[in-house]
C-alpha cells in the first residue's frame, strides 16, 4: 500500500519529490523517484511512498522496473492472486527478484499490455511508463470498484497524477480553484460524485477504467462494470444452494485478503458484515485475530443510529477466541477536524471520517492491515433506503390530501434532540418529502440534504448565476439509465456501488486509514463474489419482505450456522458520529467563528442570513440541520486550507502547521 505520483511534460525531479512528501503518510517505509528525459518526447517522472506489506526488504523499492528497465511502475494496492500470476509468468520466462505483488504487475503488463487489468484480483491504482516503442507511453489503471484513488490533471500535452489531489497542487501551473458544478453536487449529497472533484481541472480516473497517455494525448477506456440480469429473468437455484456457495466464495475472499507479511486485524461492530468477516478470518488461521470496536460515551449515543452496546462485539470476539480492543471515541473535534479535512483532499461532509480516523489511528498501534465490511450493503441490499422504496409504494396509495397533511405535520415537528425518537423522526421526514415522486427521483431525493429551493435561497445572486442549469444528479440519472432493464432493487444497488460507495465510503476509508499509515481491505468487493451475487441471487433473496423486510437475507442465511442469533438479528447501524451533539456543545464557538455573518458575506457564496437561520434553528431544536451545518463548516475549512492558503504556502507547509497545533 503506497502513495503514487507522477508527471509528464511538466515538473521535475524536485516536483515529484515534493508530491511524494505531501503523501508521506501513505508510505512511511520508503520513498523513491524515477525520471526519464528524451529530446523528442519531453519529461516523465514517477514517485512512490511505500507502506511495506509484502516483502519488507529493500527489494520492494519503488518505482520498480522489469529486467531491462524498459517498463517502470509506481503502484498502490494489493493483488490477492499475485502468487498464481507469478507462477504463470515464471513459466513464460519472466524473472523476479522480489516477493512483491508490484513486480508481478510489471511483468503481467509486459506480457499482456492493457489486458493485464482483467487478470488482477484485488485493489489497485498504478502508473506504468513503457519505453519499448521509443516515445514514452504512460498506462494508468484503477481497480474494478475504485477502492484505491487515482487523481489526475490533464491540460494540453501536460499530465500529472497522484493518490491524493493535494499532491497535484505541488505541480507548477495546476491551480487550486473551485469547480462550480461540483459545488452544486457537494451541497446536494455531502460529497462530489466521481469522477469530479471540487478542484477545477482535477479529476479521478473512474473505477474500472484505465488510461493511456502518449505524445500528449490521453485516452480513457472502461475495462469492467458491474451488470445485472433483466427484471424478468428466472433464477433457478434454491435459497439453500445459493447460501452455501456464497458462504464458500466469501470465505475464499476473506482468506485471500489475509495475505500479509505484517500484523493484520479487523473492524468489529457486531453488525452482520464485520462479524461475518471476523468469523471467516478465524476459520482461516490458527492465530488470534485482533478486532477493533468503536463506541461513544452515553451522552453521545441518544437518538443516533449506532449500535449502543459494545459488549455484543466483545462477547462475540471472546466466543471466537479473538482479541477485542474497545475504542471509546471522545475526540477534540475542534482541533481534529481541520487536520482530517487536509487528509481528505476534497470536502466530504460525513462526520464518520472522524470515527474512521480514530479507530485506524488506534489500531495502527498493533496492526498495519485491517479488514472492513464496506461493500456488504451495496452487494446484498443492507440500507433502509432500499426498503423505503417499497414503503413509498404503499404510502402512495393513501389519498394525496392526507399525504400532504402528514408531510407538513412532520416538517413542522421539532428535531426531538436527546430522544430515542430522533432517528425514526429523521427517517420519516426524509421519506415524506420524497414518497410521492417517481421511483428514480425518489431514490435520488432520499440521498440529498439540500433541495433545489433550499439551495436557491442559500446561494448569493452571483453564485446562482454560475450554477444556473447545472443538474447535480446527472451522474445518478446516467447510472439508473445504464441498468434500466434490471429490477429496480438492482438498479438502486448499481447506483450505490458506482457512486455512493466509491465517492463516499471507499473514499474516506482510504484517506482516513492512510492518514495513519494503515491499509484497509474490503473482502465483500471481490469481483468474482460481486458478479456471482449480481447474476444469481434474485432481488427477493437480498431484501425479503416489505413492511419489516429482512435486509441482506441471503447473507444472513449463508452465515446462519456461523454467527450467533443476536448478531444475525442486529439492526443496521452506520459508522455514525454524534454530529448533532458536537454542534450543540463542543463545536459551538467554532460554528460561530467559521459561519459568522461577516465571514460568510466575505466568502460570497451564501446568504449570511440563511446560514444563520440554519444555525439558530439547529440550536433551539426547531429543526435538525446538523448535516447541513456540518457541510458549511467542512466547506469553509476546505477553502481555507486549499484555496486561501495556497496563495502563500505549499500544501505540505499547511499540514505541518496544523499537525503542530493539533
| DSSP assigned state of 321 | T
**429 in a structural domain:** no
Round to whole Å and give the CA distance between 586 and 333: 7
Q: Is residue 494 part of a domain?
A: no
pLDDT at res. 307: 47
Query: 558 and 614, same structural domain?
Result: no
216 and 130 in one domain?
yes
592 and 532 within one domain: no
Q: Give the 3-state secondary structure of residue 409.
A: helix
User: Is the domain of 268 the same as that of 366?
Assistant: yes
pLDDT (tens digit, 9 = 90+) per residue, 126-156?
999 999 988 899 999 999 999 999 999 999 9
The boundaries of the domain holding residue 648 are 578-662
Q: Is residue 290 part of a domain?
A: yes
Per-residue pLDDT averaged across 316-322, rounded?
Answer: 92
Q: For 146-166, what is the HEC assignment?
A: CCCCCEEEEECCEEEEECCHH
Same domain, 115 and 143: yes
Q: Does 264 lie in the same domain as 218? A: no
Other Cβ atoms less than 10 A from the Cβ of 493: the count is 29
Residue 140 buriedness (CB in 10 A; 0-12 / 13-18 / 19+): buried
At 287-303, the pLDDT tens digits run 889 999 988 877 666 55
Local confidence band at 658 (pLDDT 50, 70, 90 cut-offs) = very low
Q: Say how far apart CA 551 and CA 382 lie, in whole Å.
A: 5
pLDDT digits (tens, 9 = 90+) for 400-427: 888 888 878 887 788 777 677 777 787 7
**Cβ count near 638 (within 10 Å):** 24
Instruction: Categorise residue 312: left if φ over 0, alpha if ψ from -120 to 50, beta otherwise.
Output: alpha
Examine the pLDDT at 232 and tell me if it is beyond 80: yes
Query: For 417, how many CA atoms within 13 A lie in the half-sphere containing its CB?
Result: 20
Q: Which of 527, 547, 568 is the last residue of a domain?
A: 568
Separation of alpha carbons 652 and 446, rounded Å: 38
Residue predicted with more confidence, 654 or 204: 204
Residues 276 and 301 in one domain: yes
In a domain, 276, yes or no: yes
Residue range 527-568, pLDDT digits in tens: 999 999 999 999 999 999 988 889 999 999 999 999 999 899
Please give the span between the terminal C-alpha atoms of the chain, in angstroms, as a whole number: 26
CA dist 161 and 83 (Å) reads 29
Same-domain status, 304 and 273: yes
The confidence score (pLDDT) of residue 13 equals: 96
Distance of CA 236 to the CA centre of its chain: 35
636, pLDDT greater than 60: yes
Question: What is the pTM for the complete model shown?
Answer: 0.94
CB atoms within 10 A of CB 545: 12
Same structural domain, 215 and 79: yes
Judge whether 605 and 319 are in contact, CB under 8 Å: no
**Band of pLDDT at residue 657, cut at 50, 70 and 90:** low
**CA-wise closest residue to 289 among 320, 313, 261:** 320
Instruction: Report DSSP letters for 522-561, one per residue.
Output: -GGG-HHHHHHHHHHS-HHHHSB-SSS-BTTHHHHHHTTT
- If one counts every other C-beta atom within 10 angstroms of the C-beta of residue 444, the result is 20
- Determine, yes or no, domain membership for 462: no
Question: Is 518 in the same domain as 651?
Answer: no
Phi, psi (degrees; rounded to nearest 5) at 362 = -70, -45
The H or E element spanning position 32 is strand 30-38
| Residue 259: closest CA among 57, 27, 83 | 83
- Is 491 inside any structural domain? no
CATH number of the structural domain spanning residue 531: 3.40.50.620
Give the domain-ending residue among 547, 568, 589. 568
Q: Please name the residue that has the C-alpha cell 473492524.
A: 267
Q: How far apart are CA 118 and CA 223, in angstroms?
A: 7
pLDDT at residue 661, as a whole number: 44
Co-location of 215 and 345 in the same domain: no
Whichever domain contains 170, its CATH number is: 3.60.20.10
Give the count of domains, the chain: 3
Confidence band for 323, pLDDT divided at 50, 70 and 90: very high
**What residues act catalytically?**
2
At which residue does the C-alpha cell 467559521 appear? 594
Please report where in the chains the cell 413492511 appears, as a residue: 547
The three cell numbers locating residue 393: 409504494
Amino acid at each position: 500500500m503506497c502513495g503514487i505520483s507522477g508527471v509528464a511534460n511538466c515538473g521535475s525531479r524536485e516536483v515529484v519529490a515534493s508530491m511524494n512528501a505531501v503523501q508521506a503518510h501513505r508510505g512511511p517505509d520508503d520513498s523513491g523517484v524515477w525520471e526519464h528525459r528524451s529530446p523528442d518526447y519531453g519529461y516523465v517522472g514517477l514517485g512512490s511512498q511505500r507502506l511495506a506489506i509484502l516483502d519488507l526488504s529493500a527489494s520492494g523499492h519503488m518505482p520498480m522496473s522489469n529486467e531491462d528497465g524498459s517498463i517502470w511502475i509506481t503502484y498502490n494496492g494489493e493483488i490477492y492472486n499475485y502468487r498464481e500470476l507469478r507462477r504463470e509468468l515464471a513459466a513464460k520466462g519472466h524473472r523476479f527478484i522480489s516477493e512483491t505483488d508490484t513486480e508481478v504487475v510489471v511483468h503481467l503488463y509486459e506480457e499482456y499490455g492493457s489486458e493485464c487489468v482483467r487478470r488482477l484480483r484485488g485493489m489497485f491504482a498504478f502508473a506504468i511508463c513503457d519505453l519499448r516503442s521509443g516515445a514514452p507511453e504512460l498506462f494508468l489503471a484503477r481497480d474494478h470498484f475504485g477502492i484505491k484513488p487515482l487523481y489526475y490533471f490533464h491540460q494540453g500535452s501536460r499530465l500529472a497524477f497522484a493518490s491524493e489531489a493535494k499532491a497535484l497542487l505541488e505541480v507548477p501551473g495546476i491551480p487550486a480553484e473551485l469547480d462550480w458544478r461540483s459545488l452544486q453536487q457537494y451541497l446536494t449529497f455531502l460529497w462530489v460524485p466521481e469522477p469530479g472533484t471540487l478542484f477545477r481541472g482535477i479529476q479521478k480516473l473512474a473505477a474500472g477504467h484505465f488510461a493511456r497517455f502518449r505524445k500528449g494525448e490521453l485516452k480513457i477506456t472502461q475495462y469492467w462494470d458491474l451488470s445485472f440480469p433483466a427484471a424478468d429473468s428466472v433464477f433457478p437455484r434454491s435459497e439453500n444452494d445459493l447460501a452455501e456457495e456464497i458462504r464458500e466464495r466469501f470465505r475464499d475472499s476473506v482468506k485471500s485478503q489475509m495475505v500479509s507479511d505484517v500484523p493484520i486485524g479487523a473492524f468489529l461492530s457486531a453488525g452482520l458484515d464485520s462479524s461475518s468477516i471476523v468469523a471467516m478470518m478465524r476459520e482461516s488461521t490458527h492465530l488470534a485475530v485482533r478486532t477493533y470496536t468503536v463506541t461513544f460515551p452515553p451522552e453521545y449515543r441518544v437518538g443516533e443510529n449506532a449500535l449502543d452496546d459494545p459488549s455484543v462485539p466483545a462477547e462475540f470476539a471472546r466466543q471466537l477466541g479473538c482479541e477485542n480492543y474497545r475504542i471509546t471515541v471522545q475526540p477534540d473535534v475542534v482541533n481534529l477536524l481541520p487536520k482530517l479535512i487536509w487528509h481528505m483532499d476534497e470536502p466530504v461532509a460525513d462526520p464518520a471520517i472522524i470515527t474512521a480516523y480514530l479507530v485506524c489511528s488506534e489500531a495502527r498501534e498493533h496492526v498495519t492491515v485491517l479488514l472492513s465490511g464496506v461493500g456488504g450493503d451495496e452487494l446484498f441490499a443492507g440500507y433502509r433506503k432500499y426498503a423505503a422504496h417499497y414503503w413509498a409504494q404503499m404510502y402512495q396509495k393513501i389519498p394525496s390530501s392526507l399525504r400532504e397533511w402528514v408531510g407538513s405535520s412532520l416538517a413542522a415537528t421539532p428535531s426531538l434532540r436527546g430522544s430515542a425518537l430522533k432517528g425514526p423522526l429523521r427517517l420519516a421526514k426524509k421519506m415524506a418529502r420524497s414518497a410521492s415522486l417517481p421511483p428514480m427521483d425518489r431514490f435520488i431525493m432520499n440521498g440529498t440534504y439540500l433541495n433545489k429551493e433550499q439551495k436557491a435561497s442559500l446561494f448569493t445572486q452571483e453564485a446562482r448565476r454560475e450554477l444556473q442549469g447545472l443538474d447535480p444528479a446527472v451522474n445518478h440519472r446516467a447510472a439508473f439509465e445504464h441498468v434500466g432493464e434490471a429490477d429496480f432493487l438492482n438498479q438502486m444497488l448499481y447506483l450505490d456501488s458506482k457512486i455512493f460507495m466509491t465517492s463516499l465510503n471507499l473514499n474516506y476509508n482510504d484517506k482516513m486509514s492512510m492518514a495513519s499509515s494503515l491499509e484497509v481491505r474490503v473482502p465483500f468487493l471481490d469481483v468474482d463474489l460481486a458478479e456471482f451475487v449480481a447474476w444469481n441471487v434474485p432481488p427477493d433473496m437480498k431484501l425479503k419482505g416489505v413492511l419489516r423486510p429482512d435486509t441482506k437475507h441471503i447473507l444472513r442465511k449463508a452465515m446462519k450456522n456461523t454467527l450467533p442469533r443476536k448478531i444475525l438479528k442486529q439492526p443496521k447501524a452506520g459508522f455514525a458520529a454524534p454530529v448533532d451533539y458536537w454542534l450543540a456543545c463542543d463545536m459551538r464557538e467554532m460554528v460561530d467563528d467559521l459561519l459568522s455573518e461577516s465571514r460568510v458575506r466575505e466568502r460570497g457564496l451564501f446568504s449570511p442570513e440563511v446560514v444563520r437561520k440554519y444555525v439558530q434553528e439547529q440550536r433551539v431544536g426547531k429543526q435538525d440541520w446538523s448535516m447541513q451545518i456540518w457541510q458549511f463548516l467542512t466547506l469553509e475549512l476546505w477553502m481555507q486550507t486549499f484555496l486561501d492558503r495556497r496563495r502563500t504556502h505549499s500544501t505540505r507547509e499547511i499540514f505541518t502547521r496544523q499537525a503542530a497545533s493539533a
